[in-house]
Structure 1
Amino acid sequence: MLLVPNGIRAIVQAGADHVAIDGEGDSLVIVPPGSSGVTLQDDGYVTRIFSHRAVDLMAAASNAADHPAQEADEAPAAPPGGFRLRHYRLDEHKKSDSPARPFRSTNMLINAFVPRDFRRDTRKMTPHAHGDFDQASLALQGNFVHHLRYPWTSDMSTWRDDGHHGVGSPSLIVIPAQAVHTTQDVGEGWAQLIDIFSPPRADFVEKPGWVCNEADYPI
């Protein structure tokens, strides 16, 4: 997946197909397997997110020792219309009742929260945990505090104090399965956070109408 922010024009190519991004608003491009390229026509930063199936990049990651590569799973079936470039203008996918904007591919799901210049109401935080999968949270703009609480086991020697991790942008935190967590934006200015799940988290995918591009990547 490729995230191109407002103000940056780009050409994304995959095989004989290409997408021209005009820089009018934030864009998300899902790039198919195989040879591809990205040409930026303006100065700035873009974000590329690869799934767990990119084993060569996983091995080269700076935290590869913390997350050893697993045996490759079975290749996913092609989506309707086949593997191809898919371009989404994020401003066209805002929800009336939530800042969430989840998008999926065959082997990955991201939640591209709507950027905001106001702070979250600290009386309406959302502490929760995932039973059997990790979550990566990528900060693209602003400052955040990631609050984590770890489960108690029968072995008291494994208990851990609550964590309150202040970070700037860009930064990435990997939140382990079963850890209770919530994130608070702090300070001034714009804040933008992207949550990443590979493979796609089932509870999002199975909720009708929740994934913004569910028609392109049905269950």
Structure 2
Amino acid sequence: MAYDASDLRSTLPASAAASAVPERFSGSEHVKFRDLAPVEKTDGVATWYARGQNFVVGYSEVDGTAEFTRRGQPDEYVVLLADDALAARVEAPGEEVSVTGRTMLVLPPGDSTVTVTGQGRVLRLLTTRSADVAALAANAESYAEPHENIPPFQPWPEPVGGYRVRSYDLTVPPLSSPPFRLYRCTTFMVNFIDPKQGPRDPAKLSPHKHDDFEQCSIVLAGEYVHHIRWPWTTNRAHWRDDEHELCHAPSVTVIPPPSLHTSEAIGAGENHLVDVFSPPRFDFSAMEGWVFNADDYPAPPSR
């Protein structure tokens, strides 16, 4: 993995599995919502879906009021308010929580309703245990068979004090370099980085790989090129061509293990990328102070 010396990720321990290269690989997923009709559309709300092995992303553009209801939700899920002009009221048994602005909400299993008002973008993150939502993904057919090199999904330990609605401010100061803002729950880890102006310095990219989990990169604004390279093995039939995929907002890219990858902002204006992992990452979680809500969500014993 190649990180600039000033990048905190250069301090991550090397993976114990780094020398083990699998023989077969799955491809990437690029779901470009702006080229697709919304799956759901009502007055003031348009929604698209994409998925990975373990997760589903619901992306909604709201102008007015949107109501997101779950009945018998099997596990925790996440709602991200990506814009300052949004507000939300969450109702769950015995609870009512109101938030404004850029916020990450964690919803408990069971019944809940999130009513969003204002103008902006809303992300919902659910595991594929929510089969009704997984079936709506534009790329659902790609996962008719499990993808390679990803172990069965295992949720992380229950939160301290039990399940309830939790909210986290996405405007608190991030880490220094890179400016990550990491939160986790039992089912997801979210890295909410602030928008940046202009292209990324091409001399300071960060090609790296993950041995056994997918990375979901959601482009909320601007333009990115996702550079992806797969290992070569002894069997040329399993080789894959390099990718340099241009993705405009809004879009979802799912990067498979163990491909080498980095994402390069190229838009002249605002560029904004959010990364999602399901379940949470062990390596980031093992770094003291990196996960902002670690006190709420304990990590499992080391693998």
Q: TM-score, normalised by structure 1?
A: 0.91
Q: Which amino acid aligns with 1:37?
A: T
How far 1:68 moved relative to its partner?
3.9
Q: 2:98 aligns with which of 12, 16, 20?
A: 20
Partner of 2:80 in structure 1?
3
Partner of 1:32 in structure 2?
108
How far 1:124 moved relative to its partner?
0.9
Partner of 1:111 in structure 2?
191
Partner of 1:81 in structure 2?
161
Partner of 2:125 in structure 1?
49
Partner of 2:42 in structure 1?
none
Counterpart-to-counterpart distance in 1, 2:206 and 2:165? 34
**Root-mean-square deviation (CA), in Å?**
2.0
Structure 2 segments unaligned to the other structure (5+ residues): 1-77
Partner of 1:206 in structure 2?
286
Report the secondary structure of 1:84's partner residue. Answer: coil
CA 171–74 in structure 1, closer or farther in 2 if over 3 Å, else same: closer
Counterpart-to-counterpart distance in 2, 1:176 and 1:160? 12
How far 1:167 moved relative to its partner?
0.6
Q: 1:139 aligns with which of 202, 206, 219?
A: 219
Bigger mean CA deviation after superposition, 1-10 or 46-55 = 46-55
Report the secondary structure of 1:12's partner residue. Answer: strand
Bigger mean CA deviation after superposition, 41-50 or 191-200 = 41-50
- Say which structure is richer in strand: 2
Q: Which amino acid aligns with 1:51?
A: T
Q: 1:95 aligns with which of 167, 175, 182?
A: 175
Report the secondary structure of 2:217's partner residue. Answer: strand
CA 93–19 in structure 1, closer or farther in 2 if over 3 Å, else same: farther
Report the secondary structure of 2:284's partner residue. Answer: helix
Q: TM-score, normalised by structure 2?
A: 0.67
Bigger mean CA deviation after superposition, 112-121 or 147-156 = 112-121
Query: What is the number of equivalent residue pairs in this alignment?
Result: 217
Identity %: 39
How far 1:45 moved relative to its partner?
2.5
Structure 1 segments unaligned to the other structure (5+ residues): none
Counterpart-to-counterpart distance in 1, 2:295 and 2:154? 23
Maintained 8 Å contact 1:59/1:69: no
